[in-house]
Amino acid sequence: MTEYFTEHESAQAVIARLQQCDDPRFQQIMTSAIHHLHAFVKEVKPSMHEWRQAIDFLTRTGQMCDDKRQEWILASDTLGVSMLVETINHPASDGRTEATVLGPFHVADAPLLAMGDDICQDHKGLPCVVSGQILDLDGAPIEGAMLDIWQTNNDGFYDVQQPDMQPPMNLRGRFLTGADGRYHFRTIKPISYPVPTDGPVGAMLTRMGRHPYRPAHIHFIVTHDSHEPLVTHIFANGDPYLQSDAVFGVKKNLIVDFQDEDDPQLAAKLCVNTPFCRARFDVRLAPKPRGEPAKSLT
């Protein structure tokens, strides 16, 4: 260590100040963060003007956040960080259904509905019936699994983005499985939509030459007392943005056919108008490790 700060040993000078840190995990995180931050600065050698632009981006991204908008999660999502953290925390090599990003639009306490209920309250879009079964890793049905479902309306907005234009809890619902582990609900076929582009992250995407679209999807959280919680989506097969999802959320096993249907008898049986579509998605949950406390969802 030199006595004062030098360009050559800049990271070491900062890391040396962690000697009095009494939290080994925080020390590890900050050591790695400082190392990479200084390596990044030395690699790109920002001008004072560029540094100030970075400060401005960081500031405005925080200031764009409120109780309905989380621009920092959007930044994390669009830079692939959320998906990386999600994947590190939820490896799926044992046959469990793969996880993907939570996204910023989950709302707690969506209405608890009966199987077959329609979560769409604004009557726009192509009717859709989604069904499947919640299974354990041996393929046995799971009773008492809670599905928490949400998606945008047919204009591409979540209810919380349009509090004056959509009914509260539009396109949200929770469903509890019975002994057969089966679920089904009515909704609309999801559509692809852009992430919010009116903030600093939107400007960043434009400057990177990237589009802001997410392929059409429906969000699922599936929880059960004795199984690991699952945060995932189903994606609509054929969507033009499947391979360029703005938040890198797509995994091959999460792509589902949304089958077009126009049989009036089937429509009557499923309580939808023609034309409509159907999607089927089975979920496999991993058991919780014995003796460990339940992991927090978020």
Give the footprint of a copy of itself on residues 29-88 (CB under 8 A). 29-30, 32-34, 36-52, 55, 58-63, 65, 70, 72-73, 75-76, 79-88
Distance CA 106, CA 124 (A): 21
Chain positions 87 to 106 lying near a copy of itself, rule: CB under 8 A, are 87-89
Residue 249 near a copy of itself by CB under 8 A: yes
Q: How many residues bind a copy of itself (CB under 8 A)?
A: 80
Q: Near a copy of itself by CB under 8 A, which window of 126-134, 140-148, 244-252, 269-277?
A: 244-252
* DSSP labels, the chain: --SS--STTHHHHHHGGGTT---HHHHHHHHHHHHHHHHHHHHH---HHHHHHHHHHHHHHHHT-BTTB-HHHHHHHHTTHHHHHHHHHS--TTSPPPP----TT--SSPPB--TT-B---S--S-EEEEEEEEEETTS-B-TTPEEEEE---TTS--GGG-TTTS-TTTTEEEEE--TT-EEEEEEE----EEPP-SSHHHHHHHHHT---EE--EEEEEEEETTEEEEEEEEEETT-TTTTS-TT----GGGEE--EEE--HHHHHHHT-PSSEEEEE--EEEPBPPTTPPPPP--
Residue 11 near a copy of itself by CB under 8 A: yes
Minimum CB separation from a copy of itself for residue 155, in Å? Answer: 26
Query: Which residue among 67, 114, 252, 292 contacts a copy of itself (CB under 8 A)?
Result: 252
Binding string, 183-212, against a copy of itself, x = CB under 8 A?
A: ------------------------xxxx--
Q: Near a copy of itself by CB under 8 A, which window of 125-133, 187-195, 265-273, 290-298?
A: 290-298
Q: Which is nearer to a copy of itself, 1 or 179 (CB)?
A: 1
Q: Which is nearer to a copy of itself, 53 or 259 (CB)?
A: 53
Chain positions 269 to 288 lying near a copy of itself, rule: CB under 8 A, are none
Chain positions 136 to 175 lying near a copy of itself, rule: CB under 8 A, are none
Minimum CB separation from a copy of itself for residue 209, in Å? Answer: 3
Q: Which is nearer to a copy of itself, 49 or 290 (CB)?
A: 49
